[in-house]
Amino acid sequence: MASLACPRCLRRSLQDLETTATAIRPQRAAFSTSPSLSANPPKKKAVVAKPSTRQGSALRLTKNTRATNTRPPAVGERKELRKKVVLSNTNALEVLGLNDLSKENLSSDALHALEAKVMGFGDTSVDRLRALKAFKPTQGWNLFRRPASLVRKETTHLLGDIEWVEAGQGSRTVRKVLYGERGSGKSVLQLQALAMASLKGWFVIHIPEAMDLTIAHTSYQPVTTPGGPTRYAQAHFACKLLRNIRDANNHLLSNLRISGEHDIPGQLKPGASLLGLVDVGVKEPARAWPVWQILWEELTLPSAQSKGGPRPPIMFTMDGIDHIMRLSAYLNAEAQPIHAHDLLLPRHFIELLSGRETLPNGGMVLGAVSESNRAASHTLDHALARNEAIQNELTPPAWDPWVKYDKNVQDAMEGVGVQRLQGLSKEEARGIMEYYARSGLIRKAVTSGLISEAWTLAGGGIIGEIEKGTVKARV
């Protein structure tokens, strides 16, 4: 593997850049009795900032000097606060009779009966979803006593897909992209899919923001494939992802054993559990990408061949897929932008989504387009419109011969299923608004007049807008 020196800024190594990602980086063995031979590294001189003579442009009289005895926010502290996910509000009323999504009601028929009702997530589900970073701070989880979501028509359809995959005994894969207006519930539907798959015992992988992979905020290094073009691995991101996966699928990973022969880095016995393997990647970002490859190889072993236990189906989801459908912000050695599909991790998702790589044990690849922070990708837009028309057996809009399309994206989206999320039905709107009222967030009586009003003002039942208009709005 290439060295970790960043080609963009040669002064600093990546280890310094992303210290948070490295979990443990022992300089020497912690309990060694022998003294270290090497001399201590020379101490760096502390950089003393020169007190500048100018104190800003404002007029400073003796009276208006501000006493600042608070410390300035530490690096990343404000971002952490901004990204904090709060899943409970003790001031909200506990909703009586709020059932959880569980294995019992996880069949199409049972869920169909529960349509337009709000279902909670059990504790294990919440822990797993939390580990996957599937909850987002903007989704209003902090308003209610505990996380719950509306069962809508599309949820039942997704469960139908999951059941269809399971019925195929591993030969079936569902590849889908969710899109729709802003606030129409794409990310939450993805979250529901993850929760349902997790309850069904699937292996769940979720990339909460595809943007993080392409905006050049995380390290990358070239990986030369034999006889192929240069691709780029993102070690630190892979490391973070492995940690999320480990936390969310702990129960599965500890039961599955390594069955194949791998050039495993580190001291890992051949029959060790997959958890041990993932741990290697979590500890060392440098090994994260090889570990990811080995893990994937292990997971996609056909269950009949694997000695380490039957492999579960895989649910692989990614939010904000529009960001990996264009050029990324990374530069190659010639200072040309790298296409997002040349980054190995997004590429892996794309290969699965487009069906070029198969899931021998079955599974589901689910991407969602983000509308709040939309990356411009006209090829994706056109591909979505085309695929939807093909799905509905209409004449698909032709590719304009005079517009430059992204060939990679065109190929990737070929034959991918799309699902457009629209507004809720009135019945579903009633379900969610009654839940708001039961939580004490709407004080009025939920009459059909109120529902119609909220539904109409929300652009035909866009659920995010209903929430904004009824619960979040403060007059």
Partner 1 sequence: MAAPLKRICCQAARQVSIYRSSSTTRQFAESRQCQHTTSRTFTSTSTAALPRRRGEPQNNRRQDEEAFSEKEHEEVLEDEPDIDGLINESEISSTGYAELEQHRELREMVRLAAWEMPLLSSLSREYEQPDPARHPLRWRYTTYFGEAHPASRKVVVEYKVSDLAHQGLEEKHLDKLRKLVGARYNPETDVVKMSCESFETQAQNKRFLGDTIEKLIAEAKDPNADSFEDIPLDTRHHKFKPNYKFPEEWKLTQERRAELEAQRRALLLEEGQRVEENRIVSGMAAIEAERQLRLKQVEEPIMAEARQPLPRGKQGRKEMGQTAGAQRL
Amino acid at 69: N
Residue 373: how many CB atoms within 10 A of its CB?
A: 11
**Distance separating alpha carbons of residues 421 and 322, to the nearest angstrom:** 16
Write down the least CB distance from residue 144 to partner 1, Å.
13
Beta carbons of 322 and 311 less than 8 angstroms apart: no
The CB-of-83 to partner 1 minimum distance in angstroms stands at: 31
Distance of closest approach, residue 148 Cβ to partner 1, in angstroms = 15
- Closest CB to partner 1 among 119 and 197? 119
Phi and psi angles of residue 444, each rounded to the nearest 5 degrees, phi first: -70, 165
- Nearer Cβ to partner 1 (17/437): 437
- Residue closer to partner 1 (CB basis): 74 or 475: 475
SS3 96: coil
Q: Which two tokens stand for residue 93?
A: 């009323």
What are the DSSP E strand ranges found in 225-278? 230-233
CB 273 within 8 A of CB 295: no
Which CB atom, from 133 or from 145, has the smaller least distance to partner 1? 145
Q: How many residues does the chain have?
A: 475
Least distance to partner 1, CB of residue 430, Å: 9
C-beta closer to partner 1: residue 192 or 439? 439
Between residues 41 and 401, which has the closer beta carbon with respect to partner 1? 401
Q: Shortest gap between Cβ of 435 and partner 1 (angstroms)?
A: 9
H helix runs in 89-185, sequence order: 108-113, 123-131, 153-167
Task: Give 23 or 93: the residue with its C-beta nearer to partner 1.
Answer: 93
Q: How many C-beta atoms lie closer than 10 Å to residue 31's C-beta?
A: 4
Distance between CA atoms of 124 and 112, rounded to whole angstroms? 23
Q: Tokens representing 355?
A: 């069906």
Q: Is the CB of 74 or the CB of 473 nearer to partner 1?
A: 473
Taking the complex as a whole, how short is the minimal distance between the CB of residue 475 and partner 1, in angstroms? 15
What single string gives the DSSP state of each residue in 360-386? TT-EEEEEE--STTPPP-HHHHHHHHH
Cα dihedral 125/128/134/135 (nearest 10): 60
Beta carbon nearer to partner 1, 136 or 468: 468
- In whole angstroms, how close is the CB of 93 to partner 1 at the nearest point? 5
Among residues 25 and 444, whose Cβ is nearest to partner 1? 444
Q: How far is the CB of 97 from partner 1 (least distance, A)?
A: 12
What is the end-to-end Cα distance of the chain in Å, rounded?
58
Measured distance CA(172)–CA(221) in Å, rounded = 34
Question: Least distance to partner 1 from the beta carbon of 346, Å?
Answer: 31
Cβ-Cβ contacts under 8 Å for 98 (sequence gap 6 or more)? 118, 119, 120, 146, 148, 435
**Cα–Cα dist 53/35, whole Å:** 48
Cβ neighbours, 10 Å, residue 3: 10
Least distance from partner 1 to the Cβ atom of residue 470, Å: 10
Question: Which residues here bind partner 1, judged by CB under 8 A?
Answer: 93-94, 401-402, 434, 436-448
